[in-house]
Amino acid sequence: MSVNAIADKITQIFQHQGFVKYFKNTSWLFAEKVLRMGVGLFVGVWVARYLGPERYGLLSYAQSFVGLFSAFATLGLDGIVVRELVKDESKRDILLGTAFWLKLMGALAVLVFLAIAVNFTSNDSYTNALVFIIGSATIFQSFNVIDMYFQAKVMGKYIAYANAISLFLGSLAKIYLILSKASLIYFAWVIVFEGIVLAVGYVYFYFKNRRHSELDTEKGPLGESSSVSTKNWKFHRSTAISLLQDSWLMIIAGAAILLYMKIDQVMIKEMMDAKAVGQYAAAVRISEAWYFIPVVIASSLFPAIINAKKLSEELYYARLQKLYDLMVWMAIAIALPITFLSDWVINLLYGEQYNQAGSVLMIHIWAGVFVFLSVANDKWFYIENKAKVLTFKVLLGAISNIILNIFLIPLYGITGAAISTIISYSISVLWSDLLIRNIRMLFIMKLKALIFYNFFNGNFSKEEKNAV
């Protein structure tokens, strides 16, 4: 193929309406994530330096404790509602209204769970106050149903706008608190403030977008007006039952994911102290700052993998293998330099008071290899309709993380928690594949990505998908 032919082909791709639509949508979401990483990390580090390890540890602990129960606020509905909106937008108001009230009830249930759970901790009244203030922010997450609407309509810019405004105002509030030497509890209230701003932003752009709705002049399935307005949202019991029947596995999987992402800091607080949590949280904040990258890339590339499945199984698995390879390469490219510069990075960002965080960052950053792989891996499970298997894998990872923490934190302190994280992630993402016969080929594919097999030996072969 000549250079001119290649150039013409590229031009055709970039002029294709579908490509332009999805590329713009992904670009908005990616830009918002990059902005959040930059601004969030800068302000977050400033907050950590101001509060110091002990108070920052209390704030991080409260957020992690609430995070253990936040799956019940989302109810695993997000992807399901988006799917249903794409299938039949005439049900928009019923779907959004039902999902909104379900999420609101889920948020209230979270507050009840928190009230029960704190009785089994060693928390004092001040720490419990932090927990309940931060927990109340889940109520405003009910308005995230509008996010689902924008996802279904491929209008990522409105999601980016709302999140950027929340980030900007929340960051200004935190900077004001630092400069005015405010107490810790006000920083908990800022989390609630950010939730309110995000909810208001979603509602504002939802109304602003009414002129774009294709159904403004149509009638809904029950004859009601289909104009874009929250006033038209309706709760339907049968729709609620249908949504929950589809989402119950996602609730369990979501709870398990949050459990093994948040349990470390909760267990460190109970087994050590708040200062140790602050040291650990400072390292984890840097380590996890990169986790948006695989999400954006997988979301962008997976339509091509889905289309490949329609053409041939060989092409489908070849593209999946390349995605695995790409994820591992990116994760290692991030982890290697940070491993050798961890102490310098911590000292530069947080100062000497966080001198224990460097050893944690050096280890925890390698969990990203399995996190990057898992993002690509999870997409395969959804395509192949193997949600039960995915839930089992995540639960196995969560349980192994808790067990490992029980043994390793007393032995190695916060470094032990980082080791537990890597081992449990590897169990969930990689080794658990060996326990189930019909997904063992995924183990081979991931292992080849981890040992750079295709880099040294050429492309993926058709026979691998039939491996036992």
So what's the pLDDT on residue 88? 64
CA distances from 130 to 66, 74, 220, 278, 455 (A): 10, 21, 44, 15, 50
Per-residue pLDDT at 238: 78
Q: What integer pLDDT is reported at residue 208 of this predicted model?
A: 75
> 343 forms bridges with which residues in the sheet?
none
The reported pLDDT for the residue numbered 340 is: 93
What number of CA atoms fall less than 13 Å from residue 193's CA on the CB side? 15
pLDDT of residue 458: 54
Residues 6 or more apart whose CB falls under 8 angstroms from that of 142 comprise 73, 100, 101, 103, 104, 107, 199
Instruction: Specify the pLDDT at position 402.
Output: 92
CB contact set of 385 (below 8 Å; sequence gap of 6+): none
Segments making up each domain of the chain, as ranges: 7-235, 252-468
**Residue 315: partners with Cβ closer than 8 Å, 6 or more residues away:** 308, 309
The parts of the chain modelled with pLDDT lower than 50 are 1-19, 21, 214-226, 460-468
Model-level pTM?
Answer: 0.78
- Tens digits of per-residue pLDDT, 273-291? 889 999 999 999 889 888 8
Q: What is the pLDDT of residue 118?
A: 87
- List, in order, residues 6 or more apart from 417 with CB less than 8 Å away: 264, 267, 268, 280, 360, 405, 408, 409
- pLDDT tens track for 244-269: 777 777 777 777 777 777 888 889 98
DSSP reduced 3-state for 219:
strand
Q: Smallest Cα–Cα separation from 190: which of 37, 34, 33, 62? A: 62
Torsions phi, psi for 225 (to 5 deg):
-65, 140
Q: Which residues contact 206 (CB under 8 A, 6 or more apart)?
A: 146, 149, 158, 228, 230
pLDDT confidence of residue 174: 93
